Amino acid sequence: MFNDFKIQDEDRPAYIQVKEYLKRLIAKGALQENQKLPSTREMSVLLAVSRNTILAAYSDLEEEGLIYALKGKGSYVAGVHRTSEESQPALQTDWSARVSGYARKAVELDRMKNGIRTPRRSTISFTSIAPDEQLFDLDHVKRAFLDRMALEGHVLLNYGYAKGYKPLIELLMRYMEQKGVELEGKDLLITSGFTEGFDIVLSALHRRHGAVLCENPTHQTAIKNLKLNGFDVTGIEMEHDGIHLGKLKEALMERAYDCAYLVPSYHNPTGIVTSPAKRIALMKLMAEYQIPVIEDGFNEELRYSSSHALPLMSIGGRGNGVVYLGSFSKVLFPGLRVGWVLADKQLIDYLESIKRARSIHTSTIDQAILFQYLHNGHLDKYLKRARFEYKKKYEWTRQCCEKYLPDARLSGDGGLHLFLEFAPGFDTHKLLASCSEQGVVFTPGDMFYTDGSGRNTMRIGFSRVSLEDIEEGLRIIGATARMQGQK
Amino acid sequence: MFNDFKIQDEDRPAYIQVKEYLKRLIAKGALQENQKLPSTREMSVLLAVSRNTILAAYSDLEEEGLIYALKGKGSYVAGVHRTSEESQPALQTDWSARVSGYARKAVELDRMKNGIRTPRRSTISFTSIAPDEQLFDLDHVKRAFLDRMALEGHVLLNYGYAKGYKPLIELLMRYMEQKGVELEGKDLLITSGFTEGFDIVLSALHRRHGAVLCENPTHQTAIKNLKLNGFDVTGIEMEHDGIHLGKLKEALMERAYDCAYLVPSYHNPTGIVTSPAKRIALMKLMAEYQIPVIEDGFNEELRYSSSHALPLMSIGGRGNGVVYLGSFSKVLFPGLRVGWVLADKQLIDYLESIKRARSIHTSTIDQAILFQYLHNGHLDKYLKRARFEYKKKYEWTRQCCEKYLPDARLSGDGGLHLFLEFAPGFDTHKLLASCSEQGVVFTPGDMFYTDGSGRNTMRIGFSRVSLEDIEEGLRIIGATARMQGQK
């Protein structure tokens, strides 16, 4: 015994490694109740560590009640009241028979588990629309953390508020005001990112008609969460400047909906920015049919060229029917899990209680870092650099698509991805299978469709791909598409 | 115009403050489309800032498409396509008619909104069981953050995994192994604290019988989340050494339950540690009736004196029927929103998909800080100091209770609070009303009861109260109790 110990990690205090080793022996029953331990001197020889290390380890174990000392006699293992293996109560559960329909559906709709293969290292992958981490300004993030910790470290590490970290709430309210939002009668809740915000909003909605309108295609996670929350999803075709208003009107006349989920800027996956004129017409239609709108502010900040467009919430003016979901995840750092919901005060009050029930509050450190980073004015500087870099990639990707995939219809006015639509009958799953063998992957578009269509579409995320790889990847995709004899 | 500008904050870049000021004027329509802006020279005089500041602000606004420059003529406001106030589509929603029953219930059961008054600064408050922030070792937390950022800052700030940050998962698995848990067939999911973990587990449970067993009284948030997830809650009376096994058996014979929620160590609110013998008997009963157990590892680490006790999960051995929920929130830093679920592998797979659907993943920075802090061995050192301080307060609180409230039955073997039970008929709400006027508050115990009883009980949280205030507060409570003529 004791011959299988070795220091695992030079960086960790040795006495802790000894203590953990002995704890494991006690827990496993290898050291038994009332068994005498080697003296500290003997043990230091056995484990090849200093005697002080053993002394510190024994002292901690004694304090934790795992061993006891008899004066002049030595240290003994205390009883941990374990039962012998045979007499252990065998509480065996068949979990597959005990899980809810909700849990089953969550697995079934979990794209990360179904069909997404993690690309090999050498693969050119257009599947991600996460930001390029090479752009991250780590020093400003560190500075923001240290500034905040110095000011109120004790506050950051103790409980915060379900509604959010107050300085951040105020800053985001001002931020939204600059986007033309009328704040009167509205309030803001901090969430752990867009997804949590969306899920909380959906859980708060009465399923009177059990149906929600959205663009078709749309954000895959949104479709998933709508379904998980028990809503039927009706997708409305897109045009080059946003949702097809005629088809939207038809749908509205046909049946009643509980709300609409809309992504007016750099729509995922098509990259389309809804035109200012269409935004106004859209809001008029929503007002006419009294359909509350959940507006996804996705990548609103990543504008490269097209003219400024107000959020739907701003167009709605003093009306309280738009729920705005914001996040800097795709623009800044996805690792910081912070998003926000700006909505009618009364609704926020409900959402706050749900947030408290579900996760107490969002990480205060994440919120404090984000606050200080924004407060110091780093977002503006960062965005300038990020826009410059992403715009370069965006334009290059467009050019390469036009060169290598001249037959595919291209959409996308900015953001971190483009969308390609091939002729009807073309199958991007088949294309992916061949490209994947050649070391190039992309996201087939059908997973973004609400109605199973879109097998002739694909999304090209370029944010984390180098300029050379963008060209090489699209060259291969183009050549493969031609070879497959598909048009 | 422009006479209401002033630099709000010397720490923020001035050009950003100017830019935000102008954005607000444009958003509000105070500056209108095609209106000419003062030259940079004029504006610098008007706003009393340097000309370079104005140049930088104008340049950013131009890049964002909010103003445009005409060569040799100056800068003009771009169109933001706002509608006039009269023609704004009035999407007005009656949210109170649109919210779900779930949202209503969340507000109704929200203790923070109902009946909890924030104590005045001078009040002696026994309501909190959050850790004493004066004990926080901020320097180690900063060090942990900087160490991790230096090693892999880019990783921490980009997307992580729904299952959690791998180094932390591995560390916590080893940690649980030292508590005697058999890891074979089990897996671990990181959550944003105990509450999120509990809510996810409940949402994954099929409500076959729609009923859950627990101790009575028990953790108020747990009762809330059980109800919100649609379960009836049956509370079983406590004895001095844990749940009343006889009554538990009676309940089990009477009807079927979907699971049991149990807090074996420093039970909230009673502070009772379930004895080792009772833990074994309890697990045998659960095995006999095939009731899965959700074990709340609450404050297991805050042991001051009583002998070591294995978690129920360890007693269950190779069985897969126990779901263990862990968190260091009350022991270390509640602001770091990190907890974990250790359970059967197959169940964790379901929970992982739900976690992904609800919040993508837990803050990587929180997880990385916690990992590095634990890895550096700071938990052990911190716990030593924390136990020393809390034990002092714990013993002093006991003594003061015995002195000033000799008639109340006391329970609590450690942790951060004690529980007092007065004679039947005694009303701690009435007591609180009088004490509150004298500047002392505590938590009436009935909110922890599943059946509306417990009006003669109260919880005394001592972690954030000074020794003098503990005595003064309990002296006042004792005197008031006698004065009220209650026994």
List of chain A residues whose C-beta atoms are within 8 Å of the C-beta of residue B28? 180
pLDDT score of A298: 80
Residues B310 and B422 both lie in one domain: no
Residues B126 and B186 both lie in one domain: no
List of chain B residues whose C-beta atoms are within 8 Å of the C-beta of residue A178? 20, 23-24, 27
Residue A95 lies in a domain: no
For chain A, 487 residues long, the average pLDDT of each consecutive 10-residue run is 86 90 87 92 94 93 89 88 72 94 94 68 90 93 96 93 97 93 96 97 96 97 97 97 97 97 94 92 96 91 74 91 92 92 98 97 96 93 90 96 96 91 95 95 96 96 96 97 75
Shortest distance, CA A483 to any CA of chain B (angstroms): 36
Q: In angstroms, how far is CA A484 from the centroid of its own chain?
A: 36
Residues A56 and A73 both lie in one domain: yes
Residues B299 and B198 both lie in one domain: yes
Residue B93 lies in a domain: no
Average pLDDT (B264-279) is: 92
Residues B62 and B188 both lie in one domain: no
Q: What is the CATH number of the domain that holds B361?
A: 3.40.640.10
Q: In angstroms, how far is CA B83 from the centroid of its own chain?
A: 43
The string of pLDDT tens digits covering residues B67-84 is 999 998 999 998 776 666
Shortest distance, CA B122 to any CA of chain A (angstroms): 19
List of chain A residues whose C-beta atoms are within 8 Å of the C-beta of residue B327? none
Cα A251–A205–B356 angle (5° rounding)?
100
Residue B285 lies in a domain: yes
User: Are B258 and A346 an interchain contact pair (Cβ–Cβ within 8 Å)?
Assistant: no
List of chain B residues whose C-beta atoms are within 8 Å of the C-beta of residue A63? 384, 387
pLDDT score of A487: 44
Match 């999304």 to its residue by tokens: A459
The string of pLDDT tens digits covering residues B405-438 is 999 999 998 889 999 999 999 999 999 999 999 9
Q: What percent of chain B has pLDDT over 90?
A: 79
Total number of domains in chain A: 3
Q: How far apart are CA B322 and CA B314, in angstroms?
A: 9
User: Are A133 and B157 an interchain contact pair (Cβ–Cβ within 8 Å)?
Assistant: yes
Least reliable range by pLDDT among A234-248, B185-199, B303-317? B303-317
pLDDT score of B487: 44
Residue A440 lies in a domain: yes
The string of pLDDT tens digits covering residues B18-44 is 999 999 888 878 888 899 999 999 999
Residue A366 lies in a domain: yes
By Cβ distance, the residue of B80, B138, B366 closest to A363 is B366
Match 């149990």 to its residue by tokens: B262
The answer to whether B189 touches B348, Cβ cutoff 8 Å, is: yes
pLDDT score of A85: 67
What ranges make up the beta strands (E) of A321-416?
Answer: 322-327, 339-344, 409-411
Q: How far apart are CA B254 and CA B248, in angstroms?
A: 10
User: Are A193 and B360 an interchain contact pair (Cβ–Cβ within 8 Å)?
Assistant: yes
Candidates A132, A363, A373, A384: best to mutate against B (most CBs of B within 10 A) is A363
Q: How far apart are CA A394 and CA A476, in angstroms?
A: 18
The answer to whether B345 touches B186, Cβ cutoff 8 Å, is: yes
CB atoms within 10 A of CB A205: 24
Residue span of the structural domain in which B233 resides: 137-377
Cα B7–B8–B14 angle (5° rounding)?
45
Residue A103 lies in a domain: no
Q: How many residues does chain B have?
A: 487
Which residue of chain B has the CA closest to A199?
B358
- Residue B486 confidence (pLDDT) above 80: no
The answer to whether B129 touches B330, Cβ cutoff 8 Å, is: yes
Residues B282 and B408 both lie in one domain: no
Domain boundary among B377, B395, B410: B377
Residue A117 lies in a domain: yes
Residues B468 and B434 both lie in one domain: yes
Residues A310 and A222 both lie in one domain: yes
Region label for B469, one of left (φ > 0), alpha (ψ between -120 and 50) or beta (otherwise) = alpha
Candidates A59, A359, A367, A384: best to mutate against B (most CBs of B within 10 A) is A359
Residues B431 and B282 both lie in one domain: no
Shortest distance, CA A38 to any CA of chain B (angstroms): 20
User: Are A100 and B314 an interchain contact pair (Cβ–Cβ within 8 Å)?
Assistant: no
Q: What is the CATH number of the domain that holds B472?
A: 3.90.1150.10
Residue B173 lies in a domain: yes
Shortest distance, CA B207 to any CA of chain A (angstroms): 7
Residues B398 and B270 both lie in one domain: no
Q: What is the 3-state secondary structure (H, E, C) of B71-92?
A: CCCEEEECCCCCCCHHHCCCCC
By Cβ distance, the residue of A65, A221, A334 closest to B308 is A65
- Residue B344 confidence (pLDDT) above 60: yes
Domain boundary among B343, B377, B411: B377
Residues B277 and B226 both lie in one domain: yes
Q: What is the CATH number of the domain that holds B18?
A: 1.10.10.10
Q: What percent of chain B has pLDDT over 70?
A: 96
Bridge partners of A411? A419
List of chain A residues whose C-beta atoms are within 8 Å of the C-beta of residue B280? 81, 83, 89
Residues B344 and B427 both lie in one domain: no
